[in-house]
Amino acid sequence: MTRILAALGLCLIVSAADAHKPSDSYLRLSVEGATVEGRWDLALRDLHERLNLDTDGDGAITWGEVRGSRQAISDLALASLTLTADGTPCVLRNEDLAIRDHSDGPYASLALTAECASPPVELGLRYSFLFDLDPTHRGLLYLRFGGTHSAILSPARPDFAVSAEHAGGGALFLRYLREGTWHIWAGLDHLLFLLCLLLPAVLQRQRLGQIINRPLLLRDMDFQRLEAVIGHPRIHPNHRH
């Protein structure tokens, strides 16, 4: 019973740890000719760390407060992302701002458009959003450019470059494996969640073992009682000289 209560208590701690979970943003881009279009979803809690979106201090961020900070959000986002076509910078603009819900809360969703000097053979990207405040932050990139490309952008790897002919599936798999392992290890809530999944299985296995061994225990108890009634020692069936 004590172990079960301890397991439940550990699971409850996950809720408290959620406030310190590593943050992510979601960047989806598509290249058509010399134009790059897409959306960039940034968590409101992350933007609030920079811009103090809760202007009235009531503890809740409203759409009106987000809309009132639209220019500041746009300036921060555009300063944190650079696109290049064959080494030449593309002109990046924010065309619209909306709110989207993700599993971990509301996000500001920016509609992006970038105009490049010419259709790129190689597209380059540099990402720096929130890295100076939160080194656990990750930018999750999904790119359509002569195929489908993905990347995890981090302080250690803020740059990404790809040509229209290169998908790089093997390197991408290794990068996701490495980054995913680190992402779980760095997040206390992730580790606690894994423990919550494993502990019930361990406790159930221990309980099952006790149930299986119980007939042997009862048999030993019966022999002891019989010896007490007869008044002299009894040779245990499993005893060997």
Q: What is the pLDDT of residues 126-173, one digit of tens each?
A: 999 999 999 999 999 999 998 999 999 999 999 999 998 754 555 455
Predicted confidence at residue 32, as pLDDT, reads 96
The residue ranges of every structural domain in the chain are: 1-21+187-234, 23-186
CB atoms closer than 10 angstroms to residue 24: 19
Quote the pLDDT of residue 68: 96
In this structure, of 113-127, 167-181, 222-236, the range with the lowest mean pLDDT score is 222-236
Picking from 195, 216, 198, the residue whose alpha carbon sits closest to that of residue 206 is: 198
Do 94 and 81 contact (CB within 8 A), yes or no?
no
Q: Is pLDDT above 70 for 125?
A: yes
Residue 165, pLDDT score:
72
Q: Is the pLDDT confidence value at 29 over 90?
A: yes
- State the pLDDT at residue 111: 98
pLDDT at 103 > cutoff 80 = yes
Query: What per-residue confidence (pLDDT) applies to 221?
Result: 45
Report the 10 Å Cβ neighbour count for 214: 10
d(CA 170, CA 73): 36
The region of weakest confidence among 16-20, 99-103, 106-110, 167-171 is 16-20
- Look at residue 240 in the predicted model and tell me its pLDDT: 42
